[in-house]
Amino acid sequence: MATHDNPPIMVSKIGIIGAGVSGITVAKYLSNYNPIVFEATDSIGGVWRHCSYRCTKLQSQTWNYEFSDFPWPERESSDYPSHAEILEYLHLYAVHFNLFKYVKFNTKVVEIMFVGDKDGFDFGRLPGDHGNPLPGRPVWELSVQSNESDVIQRYHFEFVVVCTGKYGDIPLMPTYPRNKGPEVFNGKVLHTIDYCKLDKEATSDLVKGKKTVVVGYKKSAIDLAIECAQANQGPEGQPCTMIIRSLHWTLPHYRMWGVPFFMFYATRSAQFLHPTPNQGLLKSLLCLLLSPMRRGISKFIESYLLWKLPLEKYGLKPDHPFQEDFASCQIAITPENFFNEADKGKIVFKRASKWWFWNGGIEFDDNTKMDADVVLLATGYDGKKKLKTLLPEPFSSLLEYPSGIMALYR
């Protein structure tokens, strides 16, 4: 049981939680203040280190995913970098700017407390003028626990930057009818967060020659299906079945009919086409006037995707427009050999809105059953719970809209 034996200490004005991409970037730009970065694991990299598979790659081109003051080193391949290459790039960045000296590894922040002056602070809204971010007195108290000890050390800071992200740590698990959950299944059930902890040999042994089911159809699920198919090549290999509840548009690459994708969505002028949160009256009117162009661009991209990918052949054409998936960040890059494996029968698709377990596999709401040995849940992470568990009230409530949406930019 954790104990609070030590009085609070203040060794820096600024505390940073997390040493992923955001955490080390913040540490670099605030290095003049000698910040402390608390990292719960033994390495930097965040989700690239702890939530990636063997085949996970960057979905953006390197020029669109690099630090402005530290370009990517020369690479032999022009392909999207693997997660291992990204980790190496982040390591070089941290070494170049001498950032490791700020990081306390294997230290997990278990609680954040507001210890500043509550008088005059309106907790019901986000103030337009935040005043001096370094008031000269403690405002936040972090309770930090080392992986090697049960003792909790408290730290005081004037300013805290939360760089934990929304993904990882807390899996988003499906719900099942009574007595129809994983406990009745005779095979193995893993969420992607547990699959990521396995090495190459263990993942191959898990799915090779096994009837594997992958639940989901986003980037994690697609990568998992590819790994399962690669492990089951040959006549003895078993197909991998993807259970798909909601369809999303996928891209083979970032060039549509010869036009670079960024021309549609990643230029300054393109921003006038798409509505943004809390936009003014003039922007709203402009978006309304340009809505035919916005729909035309979406149709243009959809026509290319339906020509390039066998979406209709496999019943994977979404009913909603492409722009809807783009606006909600639901776009995934399809690996080059994904549909090749489907053509060979190594990846099979099953549409289902509801499903549950039986002792031999998966049962669907149409009363059909599917045999399975392994079920992999690529159902995502509960980012809302992760952030709200860490942040104290009333600050955690400020992150969430009344509709329940938690916007990253807040």
Q: What is the pLDDT of residue 351?
A: 95
pLDDT at 100 over 60: yes
Q: What is the pLDDT of residue 394?
A: 78
Query: Which of 4-8, 32-36, 72-76, 308-312 is least confident?
Result: 4-8
Percent of the chain with pLDDT over 90: 53
pTM for the whole structure: 0.87
Query: Which of 222-231, 283-292, 333-342, 374-383 is least confident?
Result: 283-292
Q: What is the pLDDT of residue 279?
A: 80
Q: At 1, is the pLDDT very low, low, confident or very high (cuts 50, 70, 90)? A: very low
d(CA 53, CA 95): 25
Q: What is the pLDDT of residue 339?
A: 95
Q: What is the pLDDT of residue 405?
A: 67
Q: What is the mean pLDDT of the chain?
A: 87
**Averaged pLDDT for residues 182-205:** 93
Q: What is the pLDDT of residue 404?
A: 63
Q: What is the pLDDT of residue 4?
A: 57
Top mean-pLDDT range of 147-156, 269-278, 365-374: 365-374
**Averaged pLDDT for residues 21-48:** 95
CATH architecture of 14-164: 3-Layer(bba) Sandwich (3.50)
Nearest to 358 by CA among 237, 207, 179, 190: 179
Reduced to 3 states (helix: H, G, I; strand: E, B; else coil), residue 108 is: strand
For the stretch 217-264, pLDDT in tens is: 999 999 999 999 999 998 889 999 999 999 999 988 877 887 777 777
Query: Which of 171-185, 308-322, 375-389 is least confident?
Result: 375-389
**Averaged pLDDT for residues 392-398:** 78
**Averaged pLDDT for residues 38-65:** 88
Where exactly does CATH 3.50.50.60 map onto the chain? Answer: 14-164, 182-377
pLDDT at 128 over 60: no
Q: Distances from the Cα of 151 to the Cαs of 40, 146, 154, in angstroms? A: 15, 7, 10
pLDDT at 31 over 90: yes
**Across 245-400, where does the E strand assignment appear?**
250-251, 255-256, 259-260, 332-333, 347-351, 355-358, 361-364, 369-371, 374-377
Q: What is the pLDDT of residue 398?
A: 74
Cβ count near 285 (within 10 Å):
11
CATH architecture of 182-377: 3-Layer(bba) Sandwich (3.50)
